[in-house]
A and B are shown apart, each in its own frame.
Chain A
Amino acid sequence: MKSDAMTAVGEVLPSSDAEEIERSWREPERFAVLFDRYGAQLHRYAARRLGDGEADDIVAETFLVAFRQRAGYDLGRAEALPWLYGIASNLIRRHRRAEVSRYRTFVRTGVLLDAAVGVAERAVERASAQMSGRRLAQAIAELPTRDRDVLLLVAWADLSYEQVADALGLPVGTVRSRLHRARTRVKRALGGVNPTSVHDQKGDIK
């Protein structure tokens, strides 16, 4: 941490995402470094929300969009993960009907369509988990999209409040309040309400 290291040309440090992105301005292939760092976890996140079959496209599209927008990347953000999750969230939002419908199918039938390897097998083994799972899925399905994004970025993508704020371009306070709202609904759902009789302002499960 010598102070003069900041101005030394050619100082070699482990590269930050921001540095890789800046390098990719002139060496576009460098951008694949970001894929190597984050592709797998974004894929898992997308698969959990939209199904395994959609995940390839969501991830590919996320990185294509990111690649094309890389010149606008704020190089002050050393870590690009929130940025990538923000792009992925936008893309996932376009499929929100499919997403909600998938959750609702699970609520009704206990079958998660197009689950990634590992989910379907174990979900069936765990009947009790499945029961609470159905309530959870119901609650998640009924969240407004913007609250769902916040909840799932925290719970499934393991982002901090600050990272979620960065990803979605929101003030941290808004992230907190949305998360609070979403968790209130989840708690209510877990409070023993029968998932087939949950009513909400727009409860439309038949």
Chain B
Amino acid sequence: MNDLHEVRELWSEAAEPSAARLAAVRERLLEETRSGEQPDGVRVRRPRRVWAIRTAVAGTLVAAATAGVVVLPSGDGPGPAPANAAELLTRAAAAAGDGRDIEPRPGQFVYQESTALELATGNDNDTAPWFRKVRYQQWQRADGAVPVYRRTTLLGVVPLRGGKVSSRTMQLARIDTGGRFLPCASQPTEPNAPYAAHAKLPTDPAPLRSALAARVDAGQRAELTQDQAVWVNLTGLVSAPTPSKVQAALFTVARQIKGARLSGGTTDAAGRPGLAVTFDARPGEREDLIFDAKTYRLLGHRSVWTGAGDTPPSGTTTGDVAVTKTSVVDSLPAGVSTSGHTCPAASGG
């Protein structure tokens, strides 16, 4: 059979592109990787991102992963539960505005602990989709002079469709556990940006929204409406350590986004009862902000696959992050040296 051979030979003299040309194409990718843009489809597994569970299938999984927690039918805060997203976000803004600032000094570290449920999807026969539950501990120097140090502890693995966890899945689930320094960041909407960068954000909703919109990148513009892009950037920012006035303004920005809606009672990744506001932030995916059902303080965020296809099934939580502790400490954990790990001074903020 030489027909296939003939096709193979057709224009086969073409050389691969020059290194310089490839480098330019590669740079376009690198720009994107530095932009802080989150992946489409199934959400990125970052502790600052949030994810959640709504359907029976997903609810069961979370219950399994969080040792028997069940989804609450509704909030039970003081007074009547918020009737809609705007009410909840108004209360959340008030609660955040009343909160104490952590006010780290420049050389101090903001320590944040979170519990995350992360989905890894698969559709082959070797590795079925699975959730891993992890604890993240982050030490983030307030002035950003040192990159964020993160320690990841694997707490458990749950297959999406039940059954046994394969050794391959366990191997994959352990990837990226342990401690490491993360990439430097100086723009406030970038993942891992320091408190000092967040402290420069406007505390009025309108300019804050403009600041978020200004960070919408070309990729987001191509695929998302501006409201969606703002929501995506906003959910990435709200669970990071920020001054309380900034956080309050973020909730006000969220309230002004048309289409955000109350999705009702839920349980966060750490098992705490909460109320969620949700928005169809991407094609095939919604992103929720979860608030304490009584105090309206932010608990975390969650993304849920709503798209077609069955990998994962619609309604599956793709990422779920619950921030469980934020405090100020004077140093990195014992034994971790910053030697060789410094970040350039932020330019202009």
- What residues of chain A have their CB less than 8 Å away from a CB belonging to chain B? 6-7, 9-11, 18-19, 22-29, 31-32, 35-36, 39-41, 43-44, 47-48, 55-56, 59-60, 63-64, 67-72, 74-77, 112, 115-119, 121-123, 129, 132-133, 136-137, 140, 151-152, 154-156, 183, 186-187, 190
Q: Choose among A75, A115, A136, A156 the residue that contacts B6 (Cβ–Cβ < 8 A).
A: A136
In the complex, are the beta carbons of A22 and B13 less than 8 A apart? Answer: no
Q: Choose among B11, B46, B176 the residue that contacts A22 (Cβ–Cβ < 8 A).
A: B176
In the complex, are the beta carbons of B127 and A74 less than 8 A apart? Answer: yes
List 10 A-B pairs, minimum CB-CB distance, nearest first: A76-B127, A72-B41, A28-B33, A116-B14, A71-B39, A155-B7, A6-B167, A74-B122, A72-B42, A76-B122
Further 17 A-B residue pairs, CB within 8 A, beyond A6-B168, A56-B25, A137-B10: A6-B167, A7-B170, A28-B33, A60-B29, A63-B28, A68-B40, A70-B44, A71-B38, A71-B39, A71-B42, A74-B311, A75-B127, A112-B11, A118-B15, A119-B11, A132-B6, A151-B7
In the complex, are the beta carbons of A25 and B41 less than 8 A apart? Answer: no
Residues of A within 8 A of B124 (CB): 74, 76-77
In the complex, are the beta carbons of A155 and B13 less than 8 A apart? Answer: no
Residues of B within 8 A of A183 (CB): 1, 3-4
In the complex, are the beta carbons of A27 and B28 less than 8 A apart? Answer: no
What are 18 contact pairs spanning A and B, CB under 8 A?
A: A10-B178, A25-B46, A26-B45, A27-B182, A32-B33, A36-B26, A43-B22, A44-B15, A56-B24, A59-B25, A67-B32, A68-B37, A68-B40, A115-B11, A136-B10, A137-B10, A186-B6, A186-B7
- What residues of chain B have their CB less than 8 Å away from a CB belonging to chain A? 1, 3-4, 6-11, 13-17, 21-22, 24-26, 28-30, 32-34, 37-46, 120-128, 150, 167-168, 170-172, 174-178, 182-183, 219, 311, 318-319
A contact patch SS: helix
Residues of B within 8 A of A39 (CB): 22, 25-26
Residues of A within 8 A of B168 (CB): 6, 76
In the complex, are the beta carbons of B171 and A74 less than 8 A apart? Answer: no
* Residue of B28, B150, B170, B178 most packed against chain A (CB within 10 A): B28
In the complex, are the beta carbons of B29 and A31 less than 8 A apart? Answer: yes
In the complex, are the beta carbons of A43 and B176 less than 8 A apart? Answer: no
In the complex, are the beta carbons of A60 and B33 less than 8 A apart? Answer: no
In the complex, are the beta carbons of B30 and A29 less than 8 A apart? Answer: yes
Residues of B within 8 A of A26 (CB): 45-46, 150, 176, 182
Residues of A within 8 A of B17 (CB): 40, 43-44, 47, 55-56, 116
In the complex, are the beta carbons of B39 and A68 less than 8 A apart? Answer: yes
CB distance from B166 to the nearest CB of A (A): 9
Residues of B within 8 A of A25 (CB): 39, 44-46, 176
Bound Cα distance from A70 to B327, whole angstroms: 32
In the complex, are the beta carbons of A23 and B14 less than 8 A apart? Answer: no
In the complex, are the beta carbons of B33 and A118 less than 8 A apart? Answer: no
In the complex, are the beta carbons of B14 and A48 less than 8 A apart? Answer: yes
CB distance from A86 to the nearest CB of B (A): 13
In the complex, are the beta carbons of A117 and B14 less than 8 A apart? Answer: yes
In the complex, are the beta carbons of A190 and B6 less than 8 A apart? Answer: yes
Bound Cα distance from A23 to B176, whole angstroms: 6
Bound Cα distance from A129 to B26, whole angstroms: 35
Bound Cα distance from A175 to B154, whole angstroms: 40
Residues of B within 8 A of A18 (CB): 172
Bound Cα distance from A195 to B45, whole angstroms: 54
Bound Cα distance from A47 to B175, whole angstroms: 36
In the complex, are the beta carbons of B39 and A67 less than 8 A apart? Answer: yes
Q: Choose among A6, A32, A116, A190 the residue that contacts B29 (Cβ–Cβ < 8 A).
A: A32
The chain B residue sitting closest to A57, CB to CB, is B25
Residues of A within 8 A of B39 (CB): 25, 67-72
In the complex, are the beta carbons of B16 and A40 less than 8 A apart? Answer: yes
The chain A residue sitting closest to B24, CB to CB, is A56
In the complex, are the beta carbons of B29 and A71 less than 8 A apart? Answer: no
Residues of A within 8 A of B123 (CB): 74, 76
Contacts known (A76-B126, A115-B11); A31 close to B4, Cβ less than 8 A:
no
CB distance from A179 to the nearest CB of B (A): 9
Bound Cα distance from A44 to B14, whole angstroms: 7
In the complex, are the beta carbons of B182 and A140 less than 8 A apart? Answer: no
